[in-house]
Amino acid sequence: MDLKRRLREHNEGRGAKYTRTRTPVRLLYYREYETKSDAMKAEYAFKQLTRREKERFLEKAGVDLAAAGKFSG
Protein backbone atom coordinates (compact mmCIF):
# COMPACT_ATOMS: atom_id res chain seq x y z
CA MET A 1 0.00 0.00 0.00
CA ASP A 2 1.18 3.49 -0.78
CA LEU A 3 1.06 5.26 2.60
CA LYS A 4 1.93 8.69 1.17
CA ARG A 5 -0.97 8.44 -1.28
CA ARG A 6 -3.40 7.30 1.42
CA LEU A 7 -2.37 10.11 3.75
CA ARG A 8 -2.76 12.65 0.94
CA GLU A 9 -6.23 11.25 0.13
CA HIS A 10 -7.32 11.61 3.76
CA ASN A 11 -6.05 15.18 3.91
CA GLU A 12 -7.77 16.07 0.64
CA GLY A 13 -11.11 14.78 1.94
CA ARG A 14 -11.08 11.65 -0.20
CA GLY A 15 -10.42 9.19 2.62
CA ALA A 16 -12.72 7.65 5.19
CA LYS A 17 -15.75 9.67 6.21
CA TYR A 18 -14.42 9.88 9.78
CA THR A 19 -11.23 11.69 8.75
CA ARG A 20 -12.89 14.17 6.36
CA THR A 21 -13.78 16.52 9.20
CA ARG A 22 -10.59 15.89 11.17
CA THR A 23 -7.91 17.20 8.85
CA PRO A 24 -5.03 17.48 8.72
CA VAL A 25 -4.27 13.92 9.72
CA ARG A 26 -0.77 12.64 10.46
CA LEU A 27 0.60 9.13 10.41
CA LEU A 28 1.96 8.27 13.85
CA TYR A 29 2.51 4.53 13.44
CA TYR A 30 2.30 1.80 10.85
CA ARG A 31 3.03 -1.87 10.62
CA GLU A 32 3.11 -4.21 7.64
CA TYR A 33 0.99 -7.37 7.60
CA GLU A 34 1.17 -10.47 5.46
CA THR A 35 -2.41 -10.16 4.24
CA LYS A 36 -5.03 -7.46 3.88
CA SER A 37 -7.28 -9.54 6.12
CA ASP A 38 -4.69 -9.52 8.92
CA ALA A 39 -4.26 -5.76 8.56
CA MET A 40 -8.00 -5.14 8.71
CA LYS A 41 -8.35 -7.33 11.81
CA ALA A 42 -5.54 -5.41 13.53
CA GLU A 43 -7.09 -2.06 12.56
CA TYR A 44 -10.46 -3.15 13.93
CA ALA A 45 -8.89 -4.33 17.19
CA PHE A 46 -7.02 -1.02 17.57
CA LYS A 47 -10.18 0.98 16.98
CA GLN A 48 -11.92 -0.95 19.77
CA LEU A 49 -9.36 0.23 22.34
CA THR A 50 -10.08 3.12 24.67
CA ARG A 51 -8.24 6.37 24.08
CA ARG A 52 -5.89 5.62 27.00
CA GLU A 53 -5.17 2.11 25.65
CA LYS A 54 -4.38 3.59 22.22
CA GLU A 55 -2.04 6.12 23.82
CA ARG A 56 -0.25 3.37 25.78
CA PHE A 57 0.09 1.26 22.63
CA LEU A 58 1.62 4.16 20.70
CA GLU A 59 3.94 5.11 23.56
CA LYS A 60 5.19 1.50 23.77
CA ALA A 61 5.80 1.64 20.01
CA GLY A 62 8.05 4.65 20.55
CA VAL A 63 5.68 7.40 19.42
CA ASP A 64 6.22 10.70 21.25
CA LEU A 65 2.62 11.82 21.66
CA ALA A 66 3.62 15.16 23.20
CA ALA A 67 5.65 15.98 20.08
CA ALA A 68 2.91 14.65 17.80
CA GLY A 69 0.42 17.22 19.06
CA LYS A 70 -3.32 16.69 19.35
CA PHE A 71 -4.36 13.05 19.34
CA SER A 72 -7.94 12.08 18.50
CA GLY A 73 -8.72 8.67 19.89
pLDDT at 17: 84
Share of the chain above pLDDT 90, in %: 58
- Return d(Cα 61, Cα 73) in angstroms, integer: 16
pLDDT of the residue at 73 = 55
pLDDT tens digit sequence for 36-58:
999 999 999 999 999 999 999 99
pLDDT category of residue 14 using cuts at 50, 70 and 90: confident
Residue pair 61/29 in contact by the 8 Å Cβ criterion: yes
Q: What is the mean pLDDT of the chain?
A: 90
SS3 for 10? helix
pTM for the structure as a whole: 0.75
